[in-house]
Chain A
């Protein structure tokens, strides 16, 4: 593996880490948010707009502002599902999936109308000014500053979940909603915090992908990482550090699959099927004790 390929693992891993973290936070609270895909796009759209249209300001400030706006909007987008769940008891799964399809269609519209680059023939936004892009840190690779931000997010989410009252409440609600309510934890408020944070993290991934990798908004920018993130969070059992490890492993597979595709024509989409199979096998892990119980007869509990 070459050096730039090695760095590419982090580049590919960055959006997965952030969206995976987002899913992990939500799942921990018992909020099955599969809307990371849509929240990613909300972040990408908002970040692009702020970066393109913000008036003259120091570039660093514009980057921070753009990412922050993306974070907030992505969080608000996820809140729709949380509020519908709290108010009408609608399944957050169906609502977030519908919201995903809505954003993806809206992106298609935006790139053909108000965000369209008039000079280009394909639906894409104008290129973001070089000064307002997230800088590359390591020469001869695409290792950018956003990756460091993702690592910081892992640490922050870990701290939040393990060392703060809010984290304790989030986990308590996820473990047993009724027990949490009985013990005076405001369940609805906690779920809303968790949904906001979850959506925000996914949106941050979208913003970073625009500012650091693509440098403009295009269709299909997420490469389905919002759905992959769900699987990553499941494999990582919703633990922040495990999300980091699993994301990087997944990214390594993806990078390697890319070169397989070039060399021997194995489609790189095989990675997604592979990871789906892994989760199915994890779910089926109880099959071993199941058969043992059958053989052992009555001596099993």
Chain B
């Protein structure tokens, strides 16, 4: 039993990792005042790019880096449209998702049957930390994970420090709250927006690559299955803070883990076994997303609000 729970926690954290990266990235973009709805599309292209580079070069580092760069390239379309051309952010982000997921599905349509080489998966699979991973319950969850999982947590910590303890982080928050004030204070608003939208795209791409390199691990059509959208919801859950994003992402990872678990193991009530249909289980994460959002807004305090200038274009001339 203890062993089961330990394995379940381990799965939860793996499953939550793609969403963790994407959520962290979106937090960066939203803190700069840009609501980028292209996360789903950027994850898709990242997933495909990571897989293709992984199978050809056999190098996890290159695969993840390229996935991130492709995600960042996608986000630059959004940045040009919304920051420089002042297009509607919602429309630009949504169209980006449609465009990028269509592109990824088109390019990836021939790679459905290929798999990653064995030597690649062994490089990226879970690292055993001897001794510590034997600890009951939390051992496997914390001390027996892939490097990508640890990097995700590290990213969260670094971003938290960046946003709360550095001058750049402070400037970033000012840009999101009141860009004209930031401009007056000499902060390069446009540069900040571009950089953080780009970083957001990079992290979304990396998150996508976790799916094809670690979790699934192969390419499938529409592989993200709404994870990008859930990540956008998780940003609200996390109240725009990287620290809370970790809990949100792992919570939804646990939910997905639970779905897998219940599909294979029936629930026994008074000696009779019940299988919950797989499709019903699959819709649970989406339902939970809505419920969690409702709960968050119910307990709303004044400081838990989005950046003031979120989703509004900034016209320097109107200052």
Contacts and interface: CB of A to CB of B under 8 A. Distances in A.
A associates with B: yes
Interface of A: 32, 34, 84, 88-91, 93-95, 97-99, 101-102, 105-106, 108-109, 112-113, 227, 230-231, 234, 267, 269-270, 272-273, 276-277, 279-280, 283-284, 286-287, 290
B277 A284 contact: no
Contacts of B94: 34, 93, 230
Interface stretch (B195-203, B211-219, B293-301): B293-301
B162 interface: no
A174 B317 CA distance: 26
Interface stretch (B100-108, B134-142, B242-250): B100-108
B258 to A, nearest CB: 15
A93 B99 contact: no
Contacts of A230: 94, 98
B302 to A, nearest CB: 14
B99 A276 contact: yes
Return the 7 tightest CB-CB contacts between A and B, nearest first.
Answer: A276-B99, A109-B279, A105-B283, A108-B279, A283-B87, A98-B286, A88-B297
Nearest to A271: B102
A109 B281 CA distance: 10
A109 B102 contact: no
Contacts of B286: 98-99, 101-102, 105
Interface centre among A84, A230, A272, A287 (most CB of B within 10 A): A272
A205 B225 CA distance: 24
Contact of A112 (B91, B99, B230, B277): B277
Contact of A98 (B87, B279, B290): B290
A94 B279 contact: no
B106 A270 contact: yes
A267 B221 CA distance: 14
Contact of A277 (B99, B289, B298): B99
A84 B290 CA distance: 9
Given A94-B229, A102-B286, A272-B98, 4 more contacts: A89-B297, A101-B283, A273-B102, A279-B91
B98 A287 contact: no
A269 to B, nearest CB: 5
Given A84-B290, A105-B280, A98 B102 contact: no
B73 interface: no
Given A101-B286, A276-B95, A280-B95, A90 B297 contact: yes
A269 B221 CA distance: 12
A286 B289 CA distance: 36
Given A98-B286, A273-B99, A112 B293 contact: no
Given A98-B287, A105-B279, A272-B102, A286 B86 contact: yes
B95 A234 contact: yes
Contacts of B98: 227, 230-231, 272, 276
B80 A279 contact: no
Interface centre among A34, A84, A94 (most CB of B within 10 A): A94
Nearest to A283: B87
A230 B236 CA distance: 24
A284 B81 contact: yes
Interface in B216-271: 225-226, 229-230, 232-233, 236
6 contacts: A84-B294, A98-B286, A105-B286, A269-B102, A283-B91, A286-B85
Given A84-B294, A231-B95, A267 B109 contact: yes
B290 A95 contact: yes
B90 interface: yes
B319 to A, nearest CB: 15
B91 A234 contact: yes
Nearest to B226: A101
A112 B279 contact: yes
B92 interface: yes
Contacts of B236: 91
Contacts of B225: 101
Given A98-B226, A105-B282, A276-B98, A93 B294 contact: no
Interface centre among A89, A91, A113 (most CB of B within 10 A): A91
A279 B289 CA distance: 29
A246 to B, nearest CB: 15
A49 B205 CA distance: 42
Contacts of A227: 98
A142 B294 CA distance: 45
Contacts of B282: 105, 108
Contacts of A93: 37, 90, 94
Given A97-B229, A286-B85, A88 B293 contact: yes
B147 interface: no
A176 to B, nearest CB: 15
Nearest to B105: A269
A109 B284 CA distance: 13
A295 to B, nearest CB: 15
A268 to B, nearest CB: 10
